[in-house]
Structure 1
Amino acid sequence: MNVLVYGAPDSPALSLLRSALLPHYAVQPVSAQALAGQPWHVNCALLVVPRPGELSGGKAISAIQSYVQNGGAFLGLSAGATLSPTAASGVDPVLQFYSRPGRYLRFDSAARQDASADPTADVEDLAGNVVRGVPLDPNNTLAGFAGEAGVQVVLRYAAPASADARSAPSEDACAAAIQLPVGAGRVAVVAPDLGSPSRPPAIPSASTQSSSSDSTTPSPHVSLLHPVLASLGLRLPDSPAAITLPRPQPQFLTANPGTAGVISRITRSLAVAQAEEQGKGAAHCKGAPAETSKDAEDQTVDTLASQLSVWEDSEDTFYFWPLAGAGDAVNAAQDSHGADTELKSDQDSQEKKASHRHIVLCPDGALPSRELTPNFDLKAYYEALEVARGRAGGDNGVSPWPLGDALIYGEAVTSTQTLLERNPTFRWALPPPIVSLAYAQLSGRGRGGNVWLSPAGCLQFSVLLRVPLSKLPAQKLVFVQYLFALAVAEACEEEGVLGRHGRKVRIKWPNDVYAEVGDDDRGQKQTKKIGGILVNTGFNGPNADVIIGSGLNVLNAPPIPSLAQLLPDSNIAPPTLERTAATILARFDVMWTQFVAGGGSFEPFLDRYLARWLHSDQLVTITTVDPPLRARIVGITEHGLLRAMPESGGGIGGRYGAGSSRGGSEGQFIDLQPDGNSFDIMSGMIKAKR
């Protein structure tokens, strides 16, 4: 779930919320344009607006009001507010909420003059924990809330503030933060400026002091935010002070012990490609993987690993290690992390600095010890892969080895997708298929540049495939995201994952994975996002590289929905990361082989896809046409577009059928591109993606 913070990416409020909510929520900035025109409220657990009285824009304000009235949570920071019997009036719309008959929550819009001249206040939570010296804009008062039904005071001033801050020590004047219901949602208002540093430095009371000097301990301002967030229904991490972001770890290039020669071929290909890059070999044709030289064929993996020198690519600098040097690789990765952090924080340097990646080459038949990969059992994964292949059937005929047999695994990496997508020289030297999998990602990416949160229990990996364009035309690559989503949904129904309970896993167009988590108050099925798919392509000569990134919540604890939570009985064995990954890859391998053999036709998979997606016969409002049009979703076209039919046309239509790519009159279709539109499943709105 997302927590969206209105404002710039460097907003102090953004850092404050991240300190309080990671890793349970993805805290991201949101712009006024997005609030006005995007389906941001899907998967939004909380919208945060600093100084909400200054917010402008009628469409954005209307969207916020609708979000809260329909059950959303809103937090106004550094805000003054009044509960008034009348609504605010004026030419320009202002943000206000209709609380109940005769009660309007209005935000004060007085402009702040000089923040450095603000007085300070001592603020306490209801447990008596005090934080001193919190900045307070004199204009930020909370008035009219005393004695009102449903109003909850969450924070108080520990002592009377200055006369400039409050006119009298009434119940209203003592309130530093309140929370109240608005429609089906909730609104909280915090008057003090928790996003600014304290003056003097905040000194917690004896009840909040800690003997630890660990820099990861949350600031006192974050501790004040905790009860406010809890009052809005958010679930906080159990031990915020103990949360630390993992450091990057080395990645292990491994292979299925039952498949001979995989690592040898990959390592030799890397060695030859590097030699050619350095001018030591014959010119390398970029349209195909590097071929091995006779000298390389006669050398062992360990010998080649020692000969591979530092490899600089567009995004990363690679260092290669033999398995015997894995301990040194761990230490080097830790040292490199400090160097990377220092380089990237140098604001005076305009030159891009590549990150360091340390890769340990494990010889064929050898796997790293569990001490080096404590969160992912590679032996169990490869065993599960063999079992899953037996169930999936089919025959791999487009690759030198089955998908999943070559795996680059890291306990903590920057991004599995970045490794393959943004290092083109390294990527083209790799003979596919290759899987890049990590237990934790430090900068995971989703579609459209969104952050992909990487909490414990999430299965995150990327797949590198290479296919000749003569076999799979470029225009058919749009179906890859649909194909992989289908593989994920079907894999969840396997006994090694969820069995029959996997039928609750559904597909949301174009590339999200959802789960049915029960019924809402109206008896309608309630769905939540549990995964996403990101597909990137790169063209070089006659071939196309397809990089599929996948994130799936498998074992996550609430509030993050996951596969394990779909099991009705705690006595049922939950899925594992190893079995889930193996089952998805085995199933997709068979589908990919059939897809390429059919020249990219999605027809053999269409019935299975439509049986698992969320949109059959769904009524939507399409705003990409003028005027907006009510239409009914009827399927996917042979070009991978979402097909809708104007409701006035009557009837459901065919799966592929002919029709106009633009519609509006009876009998015509409207076809929508997956990369050009956003689909708000909750309200049935299709909008142009911006």
Structure 2
Amino acid sequence: MNVVVYSGEGTSRISLAHTVRSLRALVGQHYDVMKIDAKGLLTEPWEESTALLVIPGGRDIPYTKDLNGAVNDKIRAYVEAGGRFWGVCAGAYFASDRIVFEVGTPLEVQGSRELKFFKGECRGVVYPGFVYDSEQGANAVEIQLNKGALAHGEKLGFERTRVYFNGGGYFVDAEKYPDTQVLAWYSDNNNDGVDRKAAMVACRVGQGFALLTGVHPEYDPAHLDAGNPEYGPSPNVVTRLLESDQERTLVLRSLITTLGLKLTHPDSEQGNAAAAEGGANPTLPLGAIQGIPDITPLYLASVHPSYTDDLMRSLKGLITTEGLIKEPNDTFQLIASPQHAIPVHTSTISETAEGEGEEKIIKNIVICADIDSTPTAATTPHFVMSDFFKHLQHVRQQDHRLKFGNSLLYGEVVTSTQTMLDKNFALCKSLPDGFVCNATIQVAGRGRGRNSWISPPGCTQFSMVLRHPVQARHASAAFVQYLVALAVVESVCALPGYEDVPLKLKWPNDIYAEAPLEEGEERQPGAPPKMVKVGGVLVNSNFSGNEFLLVIGCGVNTTNPNPTTSINHLIRYHNKVTGKNLALFTQETLLAHMLVKFEQMYDLFLHGDRTGFAQLEETYYKRWLHSNAFITLTTMTPHRKVRIQGITLDYGLLRTVAVDEQGKDIVGEEFRLQPDGNSFDMLKGLISTKS
């Protein structure tokens, strides 16, 4: 499921950055937090795969220009059908029945609005001094909580806390409207309980739910510039926010839970007890406040020392006079051995062109001369490099031609294995064919379209460099994504005894599984099994000389049963229902099996009988989900219903044939389709061709 944050015209870059970062920190292991613009909201089938839609702070007028009409109709229908909505500041004004803003000033805005999730008026600003695109009107305002209306509010050990404010409104007479609960009031405007101004409200909308906040509980003061003179003299706005930041975090977690979303780190009993006792510093589970762990060192090693020596000669050509490898996206420092001191670098935060906060830090690469010098399980408990190399050699069965995985770069916590290779072109060009970068946790993992997430431990995730010859006309690079996905499935299901483990392929590049039945659950006769995603593939391409320089990214849930299921969970269930005793996979064994299987398939694809993917077509169809499935082409007017036949052998396009109302083929009406590039579920029968 996705958390979708609006990023179109009018959104504040700062508000968007804080919103996305906070949500990824709090729920990123359960949901893909992605941005979407007005066109995406209008044309993409986002509703059924979205757990929460957020409109962050910014400017209400541009929102009305881009979203009024058809987009707002979709948003309202989504919420009324059971969806969740969060409007922050300008997003809250926009989602009310009426806005009254800065009356009598050059900034005045008045008028009715379409969504009307709050059936009354949102009036602002509550605190004077607001200036667009400025922090002059920023304030650390105190809010009084309605603990009885908040999820787990009774466990909070405080009644009031401070949060960031800049231009927000209050919800007039909120207590008088049905299906509306006040979650917090502006306590500085309390007037002894008379005419209290509601700062946050929750509104029931059909079967759904809307949270509207005039304040910004998502703003993390640790990422505000305390030196900005617009925040005032010390103790300034940032200082006051930092003093109560643990309480703000607890309130934000409560709001997320009130919205019905699952937190990455549920509150521990210890943390709740400390807060309930009114402690000044309520504790939370490890990592729960920031939610995003610190980047750890990267370790570089090879199956044989000579490969590391060759690699180091190549990398030294990139080192600057400062002793760093400075690339467009990342900066690296080489550490000669694990025995050398590893420097501690200070991170900086910059904003991307898309308006998202991006944390930058120099990444240390520790060189391991041989397998024996790689980190032990005590240092990297989730992945032991020496075990991987031993498994790799065992799975290869003395086939010395195989090279994928000969050199490996591993980090326990990284930004993104894909980004470190794909966005640093000179570094990528200097790496050998089959070089692999893997990690236990990615704090900015990349997927198709807008997908980005914080990946939890338990996922086998890696990126690999592959040089694909342009002149191989029989072997289009478009098939590489199919080969990798097929290799994932075959690395499990081709093993003796594992043939019936229910892993499948979803076109174009996802790995799905038949979800195991829960205890006491029974499948209705004739009902299809529930299919859930357990992995995916992403291939990025650059052209270099006479070859494509591909960076292949792959992630497969190996051991973690959340949020869907894992390969080991499938094996345990298979053992239970069949009486078998199949061994489970470790991260090291699965990665070794996948790399060897992919290299064998790729070698056949490229160097076999020169028929390319035709040599693997039968195996591919054996594993995929779509044989004779019916879908709807939404790019045609009127929409056309078609039946999937397969994929073309030239460029891997989806082959379909039009069908009539009875589902019978219409001779001569065939369509070839390519993936639409969106981030939403195409199994719902919606496929659009690219323009």
Both structures adopt the same fold (TM-score exceeding 0.5): yes
On the 8 A contact 1:481/1:534 being kept in 2, the answer is yes
5+ residue gaps, structure 2, are 98-110, 131-140, 222-239, 268-283
Equivalent of 1:380, from 372, 384, 387?
Answer: 387
One-letter amino acid matched to 1:131: R
Partner of 1:242: 286
Structure 2: how far apart are the matches of 1:111 and 1:675? Answer: 42
What are the equivalent positions in structure 2 for 1:110-259 lying under 5 Å apart? 110=122, 112-113=124-125, 116=128, 121-126=143-148, 127-128=153-154, 129=156, 130-132=159-161, 137-142=169-174, 155=183, 162=190, 177-178=201-202, 180=204, 182-183=206-207, 186-195=208-217, 219-236=246-263, 237-239=265-267, 242-243=286-287, 244=290, 245-256=292-303
Letter in 2 for 1:648: D
Q: Alpha carbons of 1:15 and 1:359: their partners in 2 closer, same or farther (altered >3 Å)?
A: closer
Q: Distance in 2 between matches of 1:217 and 1:603?
A: 63
Q: What letter is aligned with 1:321? A: I
Amino acid at match of 2:334: F
**Rounded Cα–Cα distance in structure 1 between residues aligned with 2:504 and 2:172:** 46
Q: For the residues of structure 2 that align with 1:41 and 1:120, how far apart are their CA atoms?
A: 35
**Aligned-partner residue type, residue 142 of structure 1:** A
CA contact (8 A) 2:24 2:454 kept: no
| C-alpha distance in structure 2 between counterparts of 1:95 and 1:442, whole Å | 34
Distance of aligned partners of 1:525 and 1:386 in 2 relative to their CA distance in 1, 3 Å threshold: same
Q: Which amino acid counterpart does residue 554 of structure 2 have in structure 1? A: S
User: What corresponds to 2:620 in structure 1?
Assistant: 609
CA positional deviation for 1:479:
0.5
Distance across 2 between alignment mates of 1:491 and 1:58: 50
1:575 to 1:501, Cα distance in 2 relative to 1, 3 A? farther
Contact 1:643 1:672 in 2 (8 A): yes
Question: In the aligned structure 2, how far is the partner of 1:343 from the partner of 1:525?
Answer: 45
1:624 aligns with 2:635: yes
Instruction: Report the identity percentage.
Output: 29
* In structure 1, C-alpha distance between the alignment counterparts of 2:160 and 2:360, rounded to whole Å: 41
1:462 partner amino acid:
S
The answer to whether the 8 Å contact 1:416/1:461 transfers is yes
Which residue in the other structure is 2:486 paired with? 486
1:502 aligned partner, one-letter code: V
Match in the other structure for 1:457: 458
The offset of 1:576, in angstroms, is 2.1
Higher mean C-alpha deviation, range 446-455 or range 19-28: 19-28
1:503-514 → structure 2 map (5 Å cutoff):
503=502, 505-514=503-512
User: Superposition pairs for residues 640-651 of structure 1, below 5 Å?
Assistant: 640-648=652-660
CA distance in 1, matches of 2:674, 2:96: 46
> What is aligned with 2:133?
none
- 66 and 482 in structure 1: CA distance in 2 versus 1, 3 angstrom threshold: farther
Alpha-carbon distance between aligned partners in 1 of 2:614 and 2:678, rounded to the nearest angstrom: 23
C-alpha distance in 2 between matches for 1:25 and 1:687: 24
Partners of 2:626 and 2:454 lie apart in 1 by 26
Structure 2 counterparts to residues 633-644 of structure 1, below 5 A: 633-638=644-649, 639-644=651-656
1:79-478 superposed matches below 5 A: 79=92, 94-95=114-115, 107-108=119-120, 110=122, 112-113=124-125, 116=128, 121-126=143-148, 127-128=153-154, 129=156, 130-132=159-161, 137-142=169-174, 155=183, 162=190, 177-178=201-202, 180=204, 182-183=206-207, 186-195=208-217, 219-236=246-263, 237-239=265-267, 242-243=286-287, 244=290, 245-256=292-303, 262-268=304-310, 270-271=312-313, 274=316, 310-322=324-336, 325-328=337-340, 331-332=342-343, 334-335=344-345, 338=346, 341-342=347-348, 344=350, 356-370=362-376, 371-389=378-396, 401-470=402-471, 472-473=472-473, 476-478=476-478
**Cα distance in 2, alignment partners of residues 380 and 197 from structure 1:** 43
Judge conservation of contact 1:253–1:408 (CA < 8 Å) in 2: yes
TM-score if structure 2 supplies the norm length?
0.72
Deviations 1:392-433 (A, max 9, x none): x9x67xxx5432232222222332223332333333333322
1:550 matched to 2:554: yes
Equivalent residue of 1:60, what SS?
Answer: helix
Structure 1 residue 484: Cα displacement: 0.7
Counterpart Cα distance in 2 of 1:525 and 1:156: 44
Q: How many residues align?
A: 588
Distance in 2, Cα, partners of 1:676 & 1:198: 32
**Alpha carbons of structure 1 residues 345 and 427: separation in structure 2 relative to 1, 3 Å:** closer
Secondary structure, aligned partner of 2:560 = coil
Aligned letter for 1:640? G
Deviations 1:449-490 (A, max 9, x none): 5314322222210111224333x3397000110111111122
> How far, CA to CA, are the matches of 1:517 and 1:217 in structure 2?
43
Structure 1 688/2 Cα, relative in aligned 2: closer, same or farther at 3 Å? same
Q: Secondary structure, in 3 states, of the residue corresponding to 1:94?
A: coil
**What's 2:32 paired with?**
26
Distance 1:375 1:506, change over 3 A: same
SS in structure 2 of the partner of residue 584 of structure 1: helix
1:502 alignment partner, SS class: coil
Aligned to 2:682: 681
Tell me how far 1:117 sits from its aligned partner. Answer: 7.0
String of CA shifts for 1:649-682, please: whole Å, max 9, x gaps: 98777xxxxxxxxxxx852211122365677335
Residues in 1 aligned to 2:434 and 2:660: alpha-carbon distance in whole angstroms: 48
Counterpart secondary structure, 1:447: coil
Paired with 1:402 and 1:198, the residues of 2 have a C-alpha distance of 46
Q: Deviations over 1:24-77 (max 9, x none)?
A: 433333322211111323542222235899663333223334434555333445
> 1:156 Cα shift?
5.7
Q: CA deviation at 1:518?
A: 5.8
- Decide whether the 8 Å contact of 1:554 with 1:575 is kept in 2: yes
CA distance, structure 2, for counterparts of residue 321 and residue 195 of structure 1: 41
Residue aligning to 2:573: 568
1:193 is aligned with what amino acid? Answer: V
CA–CA separation in structure 1 for the residues paired with 2:509 and 2:49: 15
Q: Distance between the aligned counterparts of 1:527 and 1:121, measured in 2? A: 45
Quote the Cα distance in structure 1 between the aligned partners of 2:245 and 2:43: 35
The AA in structure 2 aligned to 1:319 is: Q
How far the C-alpha of 1:369 sits from its partner, in A, is 3.0
The answer for unaligned runs of 5 or more in structure 1 is 84-90, 97-104, 200-212, 257-261, 280-306, 654-664
CA apart distance, 1:586: 1.9
Inter-partner Cα distance in structure 1 for 2:311 and 2:370:
15
> Could you tell me which residue of structure 2 aligns to residue 102 of structure 1?
none
Q: Give the root-mean-square deviation of aligned CA atoms.
A: 4.6
> What amino acid is aligned across from residue 84 of structure 2 in structure 1?
A
- Deviation of 1:591 (Å): 0.8
Tell me the equivalent position of 2:100: none
How far apart, in 2, do the equivalents of 1:647 and 1:346 lie? 46
Q: Distance in 2 between matches of 1:445 and 1:539?
A: 21
The aligned runs of 1:580-591 (5 Å cut-off) are: 580-591=590-601
- 2:85 is aligned to 74
Change (3 A) 1:327 1:630: same
Corresponding residue for residue 39 of structure 1: 45
The TM-score, its normalising length taken from structure 1, stands at 0.72
- CA distance in 2: counterparts of 1:605 and 1:157, whole angstroms: 63
Helix, strand or coil for the counterpart of 1:669?
strand
